[in-house]
Chains A and B, each alone.
Chain A
Amino acid sequence: MKHDIQRYTAGERSNHWAVAILFVLAGLSGLALFHPALFWLSHLFGGGPWTRILHPFIGIAMFLFFIWLVMRFMSHNMIHKRDVQWLKQAGDVMANREGNMPEVGRYNGGQKLLFWVLLVCMLLLLVTGIVIWREYFSHLFGIELIRLSVLLHALAALVLIVSIIVHIYAGIWVKGSVGAMLTGWVSKGWARKHHSLWYKEVEKGENKH
């Protein structure tokens, strides 16, 4: 991959991978407590009690780094008409038929949808996670709210994990994307093919990043 255009700064990349690492840790420790078949994952964290102790702190850290990422990228993720059209034609993208797709800015409709789904999930996980954090907070809440929260926490985590699996796959499938988030650079061809509007802006010198 040629290094023609810088897509992500070192700060953005570090922020992204901090969230990614914390997501993996929060996900594995959470799954350990979710299904008996995955309880063995608790050994990665030093056993059941340590998994229970660490999971909420990892979650809080993930949330804080994620919110930082949101503040960096929110302005690029406002959903426009062309993004809705993109989403309607997402099946063509999946089939590698991109001829009739609407022009894409810095992010496509799918990426923007992911952005907002992740934000909703993270907020839900934070709020419900505090309610079910038995050691410090659960005594402040009623039992019905706690029961609702354990269910919503699991549901939000499921949507988050499935979304991230899609996100990771998209990165692997669309060649050049993992490199973009690792090195920060993309080729002109990549930018033109996947984010033509953004490419034009960069070429005009309006938006270096």
Chain B
Amino acid sequence: MATQDIIARSATTTHSPSIRQIDEVAKLIDVSKCIGCKACQVACSEWNDLRDEVGHNHGTYESPADLSADSWTLMRFAEHEDEAGKLEWLIRKDGCMHCAEPGCLTACPSPGAIVQYANGIVDFNQDHCIGCGYCITGCPFDVPRISKKDNKAYKCSLCSDRVGVGQEPACVKTCPTGAIVFGSKEDMKDHAAERIVDLKSRGYENAGLYDPPGVGGTHVMYVLHHADKPALYSGLPADPSIDPMVHVWKGVAKPLGLLAMGATALIGFFHYLRVGRNVVEEDEPGAVGDAAVHKVDPAVHEFDPKAPR
């Protein structure tokens, strides 16, 4: 939709059109308010016209069993017993976190297949996707999925089409308990701060905001009652960041690699220029014993009667 507010574009080494300044947005998911009704999953499926295959019961409340190219968000249910033996049902809406420093975009080799808008949304442009799966390799949250049908990568778009026309994402609109709210990133942080005060007053001393700095912060944030242990929430990473190996691969390796290849070829050229060919002297034309020059057939006469004297 808007193409003048692209602040990052995959496999692109120059600036993208980014003249338009827009405030950063964020979706805030208050885990403590979530009742696990999955209305957000249905809304996502409805708005984006996605129909995942009906799967099997895996013995948990999670359905489907995992994110897929057709399921961009998923409620993950974890049963946690604390030290006192109190059971807690920790339900987390999983999906793309829309990182400020997106690993998927860093890893993508196809120009423009992944873009990041000034408002913080990281969007996949499947038209440019080549299906290599590098985005999966780069993502610290294990979110993108390649479709079996068309070999393109898919994930939550934060309803960029809705947000672009001033609407909130479909999951936010449908959430019956107000566990998912949407607005400017600053407002969402303020809102989260109020929620955290409330949770602390109710005995959740470690309540806090999940906005991991390792990926520059995210545009999907969580309010967690146990912010000190994010892993309790179905393995939410405590300190996610782009993996160092991905950083090297998509960072220094690229220019240094090309430099090494180019330099080797250039060294060869200048070696040829300065040192000269490595030749077998006796095979050179004009060398002593060269048959082509010295063993002239006696039948051949060089005398040309027409030549001027």
B133 within 8 A of partner (CB) = yes
Taking a contact as CB atoms under 8 Å apart, the answer to whether B131 and A193 are in contact is no
Residue interface bits A28-48, CB-to-B below 8 A is 1, else 0 = 000011111111001000011
Q: How far is the CB of A186 from chain B (nearest CB, A)?
A: 9
A173:B278 contact, CB within 8 angstroms: yes
Task: Check A143/B137 contact, CB under 8 A, given A49-B131, A165-B261, A190-B280.
Answer: yes
B165 within 8 Å of A by Cβ? Answer: no
Report whether A151 and B245 are in contact in the complex, using a CB–CB cutoff of 8 Å. yes
- A interface SS class: helix
Q: Is A127 an interface residue (CB 8 A)?
A: no
Contact of B283 with A1 in the complex, beta carbons under 8 Å: yes
A147 to B137, CA, bound (A): 6
Are A162 and B260 closer than 8 Å at their CB atoms? yes
* Cα A8 to Cα B134 with chains together (Å): 42
Closest residue of chain A to B287 (Cβ to Cβ) is: A189
**Closest B residue to A42 using CB positions:** B130
Q: Is B110 interfacial (CB 8 A cutoff)? A: yes
CA A35 – CA B151 in complex, angstroms? 22
Evaluate contact between A95 and B253: CB separation under 8 angstroms.
no
Residue of A39, A150, A162 near B249 (CB, 8 A) is A150
Min C-beta distance of A106 to chain B, whole Å: 17
| A154 near B253: Cβ-Cβ < 8 Å | yes
A158 contacts the other chain (CB 8 A):
yes
Q: Is the CB of B132 within 8 A of A33?
A: yes
Stretch at the interface among B19-27, B71-79, B190-198, B264-272: B264-272
B12, CB-defined interface residue at 8 Å: yes
Assess A187 versus B245: contact at CB under 8 Å? Given A49-B131, A154-B253: no
User: Is there contact, CB below 8 Å, between A34 and B278?
Assistant: no
Please tell me if A135 contacts chain B, counting CB pairs below 8 Å: yes
In the docked arrangement, what's the CA distance between A175 and B277, Å?
7
Q: Give which listed residue, B131, B254, B281, contacts A34 with CB less than 8 A.
A: B254
Contacts of B245 in A (CB 8 A): 147-148, 150-151
Decide yes or no whether A64 CB sits under 8 A from chain B: no
Return B25 CB to nearest CB of chain A, in Å. 28
Residues of B within 8 A of A135 (CB): 131, 133, 146, 151
Q: Given A150-B245, A187-B283 in contact, is the A96-B276 Cβ separation under 8 Å? A: yes
Best-surrounded residue of A132, A143, A151 (most CB of chain B within 10 A): A151
Do residues A134 and B277 form an inter-chain contact, with CB atoms below 8 A?
A: no
Asked whether A34 and B271 contact (CB < 8 A) given A96-B278, A150-B246, A151-B245, the answer is: no
The residue that A48 contacts in the complex, of B110, B136, B254, B281, with Cβ under 8 A, is B110
* A35 / chain B contacts, CB cutoff of 8 Å: 254-255, 257-258
Nearest 3 Cβ contacts at the A-B interface: A134-B133, A48-B130, A169-B268
Q: A35-B255, A48-B128, A132-B133 are in contact. List 17 more A-B contacts (CB 8 A).
A: A34-B257, A38-B258, A48-B130, A94-B275, A96-B276, A134-B132, A147-B137, A147-B249, A150-B246, A155-B253, A158-B253, A162-B260, A162-B261, A165-B265, A172-B272, A173-B271, A175-B280
